[in-house]
Each structure stands twice: as structure tokens, then as C-alpha cells.
Amino acid sequence: MNTPAGPPPAVRPYGDTTGDGMVQLSFTLPLPHGALAEGTALQLARQMGMDRPLLVHARPVGTEFTFCVVYGPVVHEVELDSVDVVEREYPLLSSQEVDEGLHNNLGRDCVVVGACIGTDAHTVGIDAILNIKGFAGQKGLEYYHSMRVVNLGAQVSVPDLVHRAVRENADAVLVSQAVTQRDAHLTNVRELSAELDAAYAGRPRPLLVVGGPRFDPAMTADLGVDRIFGRGTTPDDVASYLVHALTVGRSRVRELDLDPDLDESVHDGESATVGEDAEETAGTTVSADRSLL
């Protein structure tokens, strides 16, 4: 019986034959359609490492732009040992395991507050994660018996989201960002992280989880978030992460509570604030049919 061979130490793209390096690339040039635009497209492809590129498509976009598609072999290969990826460090759980994990560790419902922030009105991603109808055959977080989902919808300002997170005594804040022009998604998330830090000064803040098609999962520290989810994320990915993260987080809080050198005034202030928030949220009714992430 033949044992399947492992991956090679380095790879190139596959087109017609293994290792031929063939790729197809599309882009738009700020030039009117014509010979200059087509020649520029080929020169750009060469400078990007494409050997003997072919221009297989070029069409005008209005009067001042040209959309181009080039095809050809790249000269580069990728050493697999040099590739850094963010692996999932927690198991995927069933809905029953999620409910048991959260109730056993929190002793109450997990409060999730979410929104699309800034000018972002694209709720497809947040709907897929939080709406009870879910995505890819999976129920959203509103379905779980162990979660209370507060849905703020689209175009929510950062101060409003932070205020609601404090008011609801949130365990996790979920944000979806699809608008990425001029890196608006990065600016918005950094602002949210800073305002959460300020609002929760002296006490643990909620988990900050962000998602969107153009986030780099390796940028958690740079953005000041706990987790970044990208394309293809399903509700059970997020639910399983919340169980994992909140279990670890509560363990750390218990360690702090047992530390005799910890400033008692921090705990006193924390308890008073949480009590005030609990009073504010008493009797609050949360709609379960609005979409979040």
C-alpha cells in the first residue's frame, strides 16, 4: 500500500501542468483604453514577476480607465516553511456543548452585543452569524439557549456601541465591517478598541471580535482585538470561540481576584459599576429577530 506523499518544500501555482506557475490576474488602470494601456498592463505584469505574460482581455471602463486581464507563469515559488497562518486553537462544538460550556463557566447567559459600525450598512455578514436563521445550514447565535443577543444593526457609531456594551454588561462585542475604502474598517476598529479600553479602565473589558472579508487574521494585536474572523466563517466557529475565550478569561479573572497584592479599590469600583449596569438593564427587552453580524 502506497503512503501518500507529504507536501513539497516549495510550491508554484498549477495551471496546465504541475509547477508551471500559471496565474491569471485582473486589475484596472487609470488610462483610456488603447495601445498605451495594453502595453502598460503587460509591463506591470512583468514587474510583478510574471514571465511572458499574455493580455487576454482589455476593455474600456468609461473614457478614462481600462480593465485588464493578464495570464502567464510567475517566476516565484513559496517556501512552505516560511508561511505564517493563524490556526484555530479550539475545538468546534455542537450547540449543546456550547450551551453547556457557557452556562457551566458563566453561571448565566452570555451577553453578546454586535453591530456594523461607522457608515457600514452591509449586514449580510453579521446576519449570517447572529440571525437565528444562520448560514450554511447552521443556526446563528440567537438560536443558542446560553446567549442573549443585543442587535444594534447597521451604521452604529463607536460611542453608541461602547455605551450599549457597558449598559448591557456585555461579555462579547461583535463587529462586522465590509466597507474598506481608505482602510475605514481598520480605523473604525482601532477607535472602538481604544474607547472600550477607556470605558472599562480598571476592569476586564468584553471580548472584541471582528469579522469581514478584508481583515488579516494576524492583525489582532495591531488592531487591539481578541479575534478576527474572515471569509467562510460560520456561526459555530464564533460560538465555539466564545466558549473557549470566556473560559480562559474567567480563569484569569479568578486568578486576579485571588491575588492579595491587587488594588482593592479596583475591585470595589468594578463591583459598583457592574451593579449600576445591572440595574440599567433590568427589564430590557431584546428583539430576537434583528440581525447582527
Catalytic residue among 133, 139, 167, 290: 133
Rounded to whole angstroms, the Cα distance separating 293 from 152 reads: 10
What share of the chain has pLDDT > 70, as a percent? 83
Radius of gyration of the chain (CA): 24
Closest CA to 110 of 236, 207, 251: 207
pLDDT at res. 250: 52
Rounded to whole angstroms, the Cα distance separating 109 from 101 reads: 11
pLDDT, average across residues 218-239 = 92
CA-CA-CA-CA torsion sign (127, 131, 137, 138): positive
| Amino acid code (one letter) for 140 | G
Rounded to whole angstroms, the Cα distance separating 274 from 276 reads: 5
* Confidence bin at 184 (pLDDT 50/70/90): confident
Closest CA to 242 of 143, 126, 110: 110
Rounded to whole angstroms, the Cα distance separating 229 from 242 reads: 12
Q: Which residue has the cell 498605451?
A: 36
Closest CA to 119 of 185, 164, 172: 185
Rounded to whole angstroms, the Cα distance separating 191 from 187 reads: 6
Higher-confidence residue of 56 and 8: namely 56
139 a catalytic residue: no
pLDDT, average across residues 253-266 = 43
Rounded to whole angstroms, the Cα distance separating 15 from 111 reads: 48
Closest CA to 211 of 200, 193, 225, 221: 225
Stretch among 126-130, 160-164, 238-242 having the lowest mean pLDDT: 126-130
pLDDT, average across residues 39-59 = 97
